[in-house]
Amino acid sequence: MNIDEVGEKLVSGLQERSSGSGPKAAHEVLAVVFQIRQDRLCVLVWRRGRPPCEGLWALPGGRLGAAEGLGESIRRQLAQKVDVRDLSHLEQLETRGDPDRDPFGRTLATAYLGLVPAGIDPVVPVDTEWRPVPELPPMAFDHAAMVGSARRRLRAKLSYTNIGFALAPPEFTMSELSRYYRAALGHDVAATNLRRVLLRRGQIEETGQSVPSGRSGGRPAALFRFRARSLEITDAFAVLRPPSG
């Protein structure tokens, strides 16, 4: 490309920009809300009762309000499905805007990742269920892809952040926590290693209390809690970090 071509394209670009009446599209916000239930990673979905995609399962969410911010909107929409006070974490995930992602008109969608700690059972509407992620039901639109993105994001952040705080209840034993990690990561996590890693990173601490272990006896398990309840990056993972001096 030579400079003249660039100049022409620039002019047309400015004209388009200043014309001011570009196309407007509907925008919706959706949430992939995970909770670990019975040692399985589950996602909150609801069954669509009318077209389009009738009978398929969809993520909670809906149209962005006229004067709403994105985060504001997803909290309002989620309140229709769960008590948002149960949400331990919420972050923006991705925006999808394929022209044909919604057969009934151009719709952009911004997806969020939400987490609810294990151990509680929020009231949900009759059309809404927690479904295990490995056996996802037939999903509407591109919602299955969003669940996949959310799962990858969660897996990655379990490695280099303290996001476990949002999966676990306020207090937990190490064997419980290792089961949460196993469900979210999809593979075994030894409780003994997890304990050492998270303690060394300063993510968790002992509460000083303990609870009797399972039905058939065993040493009482110490209770732990996460030191922080908001997202922090483990800087041990910032490789190529600044020189120590």
Contacting its own copies within 170-199 (CB under 8 A): 181, 185, 187-190, 193-194, 197
Chosen from DNA, its own copies, none, partner binding at 97 (C-beta under 5 to 8 Å by type):
its own copies
Q: What is the largest CA-CA distance in the chain?
A: 81
3-state secondary structure of 63: strand
Considering only CA atoms, which of 156, 163, 147 is closest in space to residue 109?
Answer: 147
3-state secondary structure of 108: strand
244 is a contact residue toward its own copies (CB under 8 A): no
Chosen from its own copies, DNA, none, partner binding at 110 (C-beta under 5 to 8 Å by type):
its own copies
Contacts (CB under 7 A) with DNA, residues 118-147: none
233 is a contact residue toward DNA (CB under 7 A): no
CA distance 37 to 118: 6
Contacts (CB under 8 A) with its own copies, residues 117-136: 123-128
200 is a contact residue toward its own copies (CB under 8 A): no
243 is a contact residue toward DNA (CB under 7 A): yes
Let me know: does 44 contact 113? Beta carbons within 8 Å: no
Identity of residue 111: A
CB-nearer residue toward DNA: 80 or 175: 175
| Residue choice 201, 225, 227, 229 for contact with DNA (CB under 7 A) | 201
Classify residue 82 by its DSSP letter.
S
